[in-house]
Structure 1
Amino acid sequence: MRAPGGEAFRETRKIVQSHGLHTVCEEAACPNIGECWDRRHATFMILGEICTRACAFCNVATGKPHALDSEEPERVGRAAGDLGLEHIVITSVDRDDLKDGGARHFAETIAAIRRYAPATTVEVLTPDFRKKEGALETVIAAKPDVFNHNLETVPELYRRIRPGADYRHSLDLLKNVKRRDPAAFTKSGIMVGLGETDEQVFAVMDDMREADIDFLTIGQYLQPTRKHAALERYVTPEAFARYKDLAYEKGFLLVAASPLTRSSFHAGEDFAKLRAAREATLRS
């Protein structure tokens, strides 16, 4: 990837900073930031910049979070309007310290985007809301266009890679989104290169289809620092192409699989493809 720069990149950064917002593009050291910000696309990270969990793959800071910023949803809404976004992705840190895990904050952010950028479609990439009764229902009621929650890796690696999370709980969360709002698009992703086998990846695909997930993303894990989980292998582009072909055979509406695939990379274009794929399925 080329180094970030250019007028559009600087303008995007200026708008993000002027509203006092955080982006996962910066906090997670995403390799695609240059391309995305040049196109005025940014993934906003709400609920602060400090996570209550310490996943072995993630570059976001871990510790004791600050109090919720009640004005943050409004600022995200205004930023969406200022950027003129067709599609926006809202994600967050985990907030196990909050009674609802930050669900109401998500809902308020969606509502603010609807006010300031009514033509913008909204995608949320949420935490698992584990042990947070009613949290999922709060976000679903706000009617995001896409509900994304990443499984991140195969269940056999959860204890090492995603401590504090539960594979089955994450699957059930996505299954319940579709049960409660059949019109919603659901999405999930995993990283490869952490020590998983192809057979384990295929099994995750099957679990996702059983949960009626529409959109699968698969990308290469890149080790952020020496303290993070070690990189076990680089997956070839040919292997990613095989993952993609098999996933389509299993029935996903849309699949993105490549070394640089990330949850919100090309999210706007992918949403248009996702909508078209569902319409084609309904016509057939």
Structure 2
Amino acid sequence: MKGLIVRIAAAVVLGAAIVTGSPGVGMAADATALIRAAFDNWRANSSESTVTMTIHRPGWERHLTMKGWTQGHDKALARFTAPAKDAGNATLKLGKTTLIFNPKLNQVIKLPASMLAQSWMGSDFSYNDLSKAEDILTEYSHKIIGTGHAGGHTVYSIEALPKPGAPVVWGKQQVKVRDDGVLLQETFFDQDMRVVRQMTTDKVGRIGGRDYPVVVTMRPAAKKGQWTRLDTTAARFNVPIPAYVFTRSNLQNPRN
């Protein structure tokens, strides 16, 4: 599961998309610190979560359930548990390496970098969204372009522009983050500065001892009536996770 989303997503997705370790970040009003707080809230030092994914298309809708684990900035595992026909499908991200397991083929496949921006499990989230890829922190420059208020919090609008020569897909990203680090919105622009997709937080709730974007929705701009929603139904943060969880062996033959 995090884009910021997903934390895939959380999403899956994982990625995308905050604050126990970031007191006072709102007062600092530093754009990079705010984005970092959003990542920290999404994943913490480690996390274990249960997420329902709804993939909506005009005329049909799919519902899937998955378990997700993250550790640090570069480890994430998402495994689908329902429905039966999708159960066992899993994605493991270790740094820049992404592995997927298809139980029907009983095969682990390493995804090339060119496919990481592709659709994950037929949803509107990408493989990068699964672990909330940190490109927006490392490959972009940030500045606050506006402020507002919602739910008793200051909301910062942040523009992220690629650094010169950065190997990134998006021409620009815009993020809205509360002063306590809760991610409210992330908008993705192409190289011509046209909106390609947008992720919004539909509900902020108390989960795992923190305020958290428990319901997030990704919508592609060019496809009306199409969206994917991630609903985090359970989560624990800063919990010990066995080292074997983030291994190829556990991806293919789960021990948990």
Which category describes the TM-score, using the shorter chain as reference length? 0.3 to 0.5
TM-score for both structures, normalised by structure 1: 0.30
Higher helix share: 1
Which protein has the larger Cα radius of gyration, Structure 1 or Structure 2?
1
Higher strand share: 2
Say which structure, 1 or 2, has more relative contact order (CA 8 Å, 6+ apart): 2
